[in-house]
Amino acid sequence: MLRLSASGLGCVRGSRTIFDDINLELSSGEVLALVGPNGSGKSSLLRLVAGLLRESAGRIELGGGAPDQTIGEQAHYLGHLDALKPSLTVAENLAFWVHYLGGNVASLPAALAGLGLGSLAELPAAYLSAGQRRRLSLARLVAVPRPIWLLDEPTSALDAAGQEQLAGLMRQHLSGGGLILAATHGPLGIEARELKLGGTA
């Protein structure tokens, strides 16, 4: 049973205070949606939890996780960028991340097939459409099991069918004991609590 909590979190980038005194709590099987206007710090908050940014104040804690690993090492981060190399094939791209992030390469074909990319495995990633690239990034989340998902606008670039698929994957992740923190402008497709950012100037 995992519990992700943050108290008094502050973020300063450049000389600008992005947000101040943010608290959140999230347990296994729960989704927390970050909403707010542009520039309110949704992406920054995700990157803070991932360990890619340093907080200027406050702390983030994970209860029930692996004691010898950082939060980032137990999380998946799905940002705006896809981390795909155009000159590698779809399978090579995914295989690299599976090996690097400590997953089992045997799960690769199933992950690709599950996201409708099975027939494209030997295609260079340069030929993928935006939606297919997004789905390949999602395949990474499926192929390497990690309990925390940090998603930055996951529904962007996905058509209606893709968003359905994403919702299904999220439900599957949650029922497996995972938790999801997602920044989004629109509906995620599943039931979620909301945390509003960017109240004051």
Partner 1 sequence: MALIDLANPTRFLSATARVLPWLAIATAIAFAVGLYLVWSAPDDYQQGATVKIMFIHVPNAWLAMAVWAVMSIASIGTLVWRHPLADVAAKAAVPLGAAFTFLALLTGSLWGRPMWGTYWVWDARLTSVLVLFLMYLGVLALSRTVDDPSRAGRAAAILTLVGAINLPIIKFSVDWWNTLHQPASVFRASGPAIDPSILTPLLVMALAFMLLFVTLHLAAMRNEILRRRVRTMWLMQAHAAS
Partner 2 sequence: MTAFLALLQRDTRLAIRIGGGALMGVLFFLIVVTLVPFAVGPDLAQLRRIGPAILWVGALLASLLTLDRLLAADHEDGSLDLLLMGTTPLELVVLTKAAAHWITSCLPLVIATPLLGLFLNLEPLAIGAVALTLLAGTPALTCIGLIGAALSVALRRGGLLLPLLVLPLTVPVLIFGVAASNAAIAGPTSFGAPFMILCALSLGSLVLGPFAAAAALRHGLE
Q: Any contact of residue 15 with partner 1 (CB under 8 A)?
A: yes
Dihedral, CA atoms, 71, 2, 18, 151, nearest 10 degrees? 80
Q: Any contact of residue 80 with partner 1 (CB under 8 A)?
A: no
Interface positions, 14-53, toward partner 2 (CB under 8 A): 47, 50-53
Q: Any contact of residue 200 with partner 1 (CB under 8 A)?
A: no
What are the phi and psi torsion angles at 71 (to 5°)?
-65, -40
Binding mask 93-122 for partner 2 (x = CB under 8 A): --xxx-xxxx--x-----------------
Q: CB-wise, 16 or 80, nearer to partner 1?
A: 16
**Minimum distance, C-beta of residue 49 to partner 2, in the bound complex (Å):** 11
The SS3 call for residue 21 is strand
Q: CB-wise, 51 or 124, nearer to partner 1?
A: 51
Work out the burial of residue 23: count CB atoms within 10 Å of its CB; fewer than 13 is exposed, 13-18 middle, 19 or more buried.
exposed
Selection from 40, 5, 10 nearest residue 24 by Cα: 5
C-alpha distances out from residue 145 to 17, 30, 75, 76, 176, Å:
34, 17, 9, 9, 10
**Minimum distance, C-beta of residue 180 to partner 1, in the bound complex (Å):** 30
Q: What value does the CA radius of gyration of the chain take, rounded to a whole number of Å?
A: 17
**Minimum distance, C-beta of residue 96 to partner 2, in the bound complex (Å):** 5
Buried b (16+ CB within 10 A) or exposed e, 167-185: bebbeebbeeebbbbbbbe
Give the tokens for residue 163: 């968003």
Interface positions, 18-47, toward partner 1 (CB under 8 A): 39
Q: Any contact of residue 1 with partner 2 (CB under 8 A)?
A: no
Identified binder of partner 1 from the candidate list 1, 16, 87, 200, rule CB under 8 A: 16
Give me the residues that bind partner 2 (CB under 8 A), please. Answer: 13, 47, 50-54, 69, 72-73, 75-77, 79-85, 87-88, 92, 95-97, 99-102, 105
Give me the residues that bind partner 1 (CB under 8 A), please. Answer: 13-16, 39, 201
